[in-house]
Amino acid sequence: MVRKQTEGRTRSRWLIFLIDQVIVCWSLSLSLFVVMQFNFSIVQRGYFFIYLFSYLLITSSVFLAMRIHTGIVRYANLDDVYRIFMATLISGICYWLFIELIVTPYLKKGWTGFNLALIFNFFISSSLLILLRVYVRQGYNHLNIPSEHKVETVLIYSRTGSAIILKQALEAQRENNFNILGYINNDPDKVGKYIQQKKIYHSSSISYLKKKFKLEKVLICGDDLDYGERKSILDKCMSEDIKVSLLPPPSQWACGRLSNSQIKELNINDLLQREPIVLNKEKILSEITGKRVLVTGAAGSIGSEIVRQLIGYSPELIILCDQAESPLHELQLELMDRYPDCRVVIFMANIQDRLRTYQLFDLYRPELVFHAAAYKHVPLMENNPTEAIMTNVFGTKNIASLSKRFEVEKFVMISTDKAVNPTNVMGATKRLAEIYIQTLQNNENENFNHTGTRFITTRFGNVLGSNGSVVPRFRAQIDAGGPVTVTHPEITRYFMTIPEAVELVMEAASMGKGGEIFVFDMGEAIKIVDLAINMIKLAGLAPQKDIDIVFTGLRPGEKLYEELLNNEEATMATHHRKIKIARVKHYLSGAVEELLDNLWKAKCSGNEIDMIGLIKKMIPEYRSNNSVFEKLDSPVAV
């Protein structure tokens, strides 16, 4: 099989070589006849065939030496044009020298008009050789489109240089079936002009182009494009039901060529992504480099991303603590493949287990702790409040108190916006954990002889694509053909991507002095039904036509609107515009300890009503919604 393919390629190369030689010989003949005004008798008496055979020998040698015939004609580019010009020029010069120094003295006869014929020949032969390649390329492009595939009309949005390279790559990869309409560029000096026969359009023309040319897709290449302009184009495409595909810049193409696997369809993370976060990496490096770092909940969405980003700051050791066996195993395999030189240890433990967590601290002596372990699903915790309290409150108490005992430098807790005016058990337990963390910091401030663990809390909303969150659920429902279930048509949430959230966690951890609750700028709240509609559109389907959207009603503990985290009246600014410090009520450590003691006793008695009642006394803003615990709330005065 290999031999047959090789022979086929060889025959193709020699066929090109033969055609090239026919062209150059015909071109020389035509030039001579033109100069001699088509007087055949004069041409024949002038030893025409000797001149022609000599030219054939020289051009064959030059073309073979420069490997003109080895290029694949349908992929010919400007470099090939340049090589053809050089080959014909060198052949002409060598031929002129050969005729003047050898043939003419030997025959003792010159040929009037010979030099003029050579000039004609140069232009005719080079033009014909180039046109051959142009027509073969164009013919291949038109005839090689698989009939069973639909051709999509597309625009390219990229930097000018990358856009040209992308156009050429797509034309060479005809299996992609793209009809390139032109380019998007909002530079006034470029709009309306042409690059390689393709027009440059302003982004405001997208709607017009869809109507006139049936534009179906926009290809966005590169991640260094203007953020505001990129977002504007994405919004326009979504509103016009135009598909968007994302491609890496040419520098990241495999082996310098664009492959089909690198053409990614737009997903909801890309659509909701905000302006890139600027980090003080030198400060973060000084906090993490060369230190032993513990990450609890390391197998979770946030915990695993914390681990990935920590590796970039070269810690001495990362301890991965979790009780979820399979996800922890998967993360271990990933780290072994991607970061073989990073020192990572796995420590399986339930943070509720005081003895087991003590062994962890005693064995590895972490210097930094990122506490991401928690139960987070609102309806599930509303029906299992004991487990929420045991993990989110007492589990946090175990890790925090051990951090203090073993003189950890910084303890960073991952909290949630649901801790603000909580309406469910999950949010209330996270708020109680925040309160306990702050009392530990207050005790540290009073104890000047202690080395001083700094306790820091970071609080943010929903993250896109986290385990069990709405985005993967919607995606699974769309893949199954629907319906997509939304609890309420007016429900809204704040979202950010997992890497975004963790980057801000790192920045907050580096700036924290102890006792702060850092809240992140989550942008604008998003209607969940709009999120569902966009995800259906991104799948190339029509909402309420191809995929139904069904409203199921609020779940236990769920509320319509999450609290704003960046309210200027409730926060203080920091040097980072996306991170603020929440102004919250401070509690006396004695009162908190007494509550936790009573909460433990209620837990031991198995009385969940008493347990929630105690939490509501400590957190009066905790008022249950759509829950069996609403009966514990006092009536609100009207």
Rounded Cα distance, 130 and 84, in Å: 7
Residue 350 has pLDDT above 50, yes or no: yes
More confident residue, 498 or 366: 366
Q: How confident is the model at residue 140 (pLDDT cuts 50, 70, 90)?
A: low
Q: Is the pLDDT of residue 252 over 80?
A: no
Higher pLDDT, 622 or 48: 622
In DSSP notation, 519-558 reads EE---S-EEHHHHHHHHHHHTT--BTTTB-EEE--PPTT-
pTM: 0.70
Q: Does domain 152-266 have CATH number 3.40.50.720?
A: yes
Residue 517's contacts (CB-CB under 8 Å, 6 or more residues apart) are 415, 434, 438, 457, 458, 459, 581, 582, 584
According to CATH, the topology of domain 281-618 is Rossmann fold (3.40.50)
- Comparing 391 with 117, the larger pLDDT belongs to 391
Nearest Cα neighbor of 531 from 625, 626, 465 is 465
pLDDT, position 428? 94
pLDDT of residue 274: 66
Confidence of residue 571 (pLDDT cuts 50, 70, 90): confident
Q: Which residue has the higher pLDDT, 423 or 98?
A: 423
Q: In this predicted structure, what is the pLDDT of residue 566?
A: 43
pLDDT at position 635: 65
445: pLDDT strictly greater than 60: no
Backbone angles phi and psi of 150, in degrees to 5: -80, 135
Instruction: State the catalytic residue, choosing from 210, 418, 537, 580.
Output: 418
Supply 553's token pair: 């009603």
Share of the chain above pLDDT 70, in %: 81
pLDDT for 3: 40
290: left (phi over 0), alpha (psi -120 to 50) or beta: left
Which tops the pLDDT comparison, 357 or 116? Answer: 357
Q: Is the pLDDT of residue 468 over 70?
A: no
Q: Which residue has the tokens 């972490």?
A: 366
CATH 3.40.50.720 domain range(s) in the chain: 152-266, 281-618
pLDDT confidence of 6, banded at 50, 70, 90? Answer: very low
User: What's residue 216's pLDDT?
Assistant: 84
pLDDT averaged over the chain? 81
631 Cβ contact list (under 8 Å, min separation 6): none
pLDDT tier at 332, thresholds 50, 70, 90: very high
Give the model confidence (pLDDT) of 29-45 as tens digits. 788 777 776 666 655 55
| Whether residue 409 has pLDDT greater than 80 | yes
Q: Give the pLDDT of residue 513.
A: 86
Which residues neighbour 637 within 8 Å (Cβ) at sequence distance 6 or greater?
A: none
Burial environment of residue 126 by CB neighbours within 10 A (0 to 12, 13 to 18, 19 or more): buried
pLDDT, one tens digit per residue, over 580-597 is 887 777 788 888 899 999
- Which range (57-66, 229-238, 271-280) has the least confidence? 271-280
Neighbours of 573 (CB within 10 A): 11
CA 59 to chain centre: 52
Is the pLDDT at 5 greater than 50, yes or no? Answer: no
Find the mean pLDDT for residues 163-181: 72
- Tell me which residue of 144, 143, 135 sits closest to 23, measured CA to CA: 135
**Contact 496/522 with Cβ under 8 angstroms?**
yes
Q: Is 150 a catalytic residue?
A: no
Per 3-state DSSP, what percentage of the chain is helix, strand, and coil (rounded to 5)?
55, 15, 30
Closest C-alpha among 374, 446, 387 to residue 413: 374
pLDDT at residue 146 greater than cutoff 60? no
Per-residue confidence (pLDDT) for residue 450, from 0 to 100: 46
- Whether pLDDT at 528 is above 70: yes
The model's pLDDT over 482-513, given as tens digits with 9 standing for 90+, comes to: 899 998 888 888 788 888 888 889 988 888 88
pLDDT of residue 369: 96
453 contacts 409 by C-beta, under 8 angstroms? yes
| Tokens, residue 95 | 């031929």
Phi/psi for 463 (5° steps) reads -115, 140
Least confident of 5-19, 149-163, 180-194: 5-19
Of the two residues 482 and 324, the one the predictor is more confident about is 324
Tell me what pLDDT residue 407 has: 92
Residue 7's pLDDT band (boundaries 50, 70, 90)?
Answer: very low
Most confident of 56-60, 235-239, 435-439, 461-465: 435-439
| Cα–Cα distance for residue pair 127/133, rounded to 1 Å | 10
